[in-house]
Amino acid sequence: MKNVVVVGAQWGDEGKGKIVDWLSWRADIVVRYQGGHNAGHTLVIDGVQYKLSLLPSGVVRTGKLSIIGNGVVVDPWHLLKEIDGLRQKGVAISPDNLLIAENCPVILPVHGAVDRAREAARGDLKIGTTGRGIGPAYEDKAARRAIRLCDLTEPKILRPKLEYLLQNHNAVLRGFGAETFDAETIYQELMALAPAILPYVGVVWERLENARKEGKLILFEGAQGALLDIDHGTYPFVTSSSTMAANAAAGSGVGPRAIGRVLGICKAYTTRVGAGPFPTEDHGEIGELLGTRGREFGTVTGRKRRCGWLDAVLVRQAVKTGGIDGIALTKLDILDGMPELKICRAYRLGDKVIDYLPAGQQAQAAVEPIYDICEGWDKPTSGLRSWADLPANALKYIRRIEELIEAPVILLSTSPEREDTILMRDPFGD
């Protein structure tokens, strides 16, 4: 048995939450290793919907340990609210089944203010951030001025650290003509919530090392997707962390050998939220149809997602750069009844045909998709739980995807419900 990392193979919103939840019945521990509460993972279990942002998707499974690793930036106010919301739905959360790394950077109210002020100042050059302070919090981490959860146990250290942090951010806010923040106010707010958050805080790397020695099975959960990666995504329209499977090790405190297999999650079409290039985006009837059928609205922001045909070029690139061993294909049922489907297999850039997305911002905006045409199917796939029950043309569509992305589809999701899942190959197995 091998530990598994689950990553998005597109621009996020691929359905990682459901897949992690479904796989978590096999795992002993589920670890979230990057991002913040800009992530949105929706689970549907027996008709009940659970929306998660910071908590690992395995938290709704009883008997599992959920971990928030050091690579995550934590808004403690949001986290406590999220925990309370799940408790109201009957999910038991306590320090017995939730552990948060003591060295997680903290997202403060000033981070969100800076994030929103910068985005507003960009005008037409907006990146499309959630405005929740994720980027500024990661900046503080890199600049070595971050407040970390462990600092809440050392009040004498915390106060001067806040002063130093605010020297930078208040200067930025004054430059934008925005309201500044007071260190004493934030200090008191942090001290007030410390008793509620600190019982969950501990030494994650040690817990994971002990689990490794005991032969426990670990499932690592990423947020966002490969195309939002700070290095390999559509820069600058990306998130502020590495979304790749390789970051699962650094973001949770384990060695790279702890990573066994990588499962990429991919929709049967393509969506993205916010600004940035989108070669296969459809601005007409097809885009509207996909958005309506797929209920394509951001879990966190509520923003309408841009929709288009499946871009195999981008998924193939994610497979190569992310070390993806197999794909979980989601939302195939959204394509039911469509007479004709398209898959982008290459791009045209000027007078050249290329099989990758270039790094340059102008080049990314200029590429034009070259499509394969596939015949659709009439029989519904929604709710199917057997590979043998899939329509012939749906199978052909999946096989063509496998050829173009150069990776097998090993799991298929046919609805948001937990059990509407078809497993072709065990990602944990040898």
| Catalytic sites, residue numbers | 13, 41
Enter the tokens of residue 187. 């200090």
Enter the tokens of residue 307. 């929709």
CA distances (Å), 74 to each of 16, 243, 268, 353, 386, in order? Answer: 20, 16, 32, 43, 40
d(CA 115, CA 126): 11
N residues, the chain: 430
Q: Using the structure block, give the residue that is written with the tokens 């899942």.
A: 421
Burial of 4 (0-12, 13-18, 19+ CB in 10 A): buried
- Name the helix (H) or strand (E) containing 7: strand 4-8
CB 313 within 8 A of CB 355: yes
Residue type, 379: K
CB 325 within 8 A of CB 245: no
Query: H/E/C letters for each residue in 242-270?
Result: CCCCCHHHHCCCCCHHHCCEEEEEEECCE
Residue among 4, 10, 15 nearest 317 (CA): 10
DSSP bridge pairs for 297 = 304
Query: H/E/C letters for each residue in 27-91?
Result: CCEEEECCECCCCCEEEEECCEEEEECCCCHHHHCCCCEEEECCCECECHHHHHHHHHHHHHCCC
Residue among 219, 201, 253 nearest 80 (CA): 201
d(CA 299, CA 392): 33
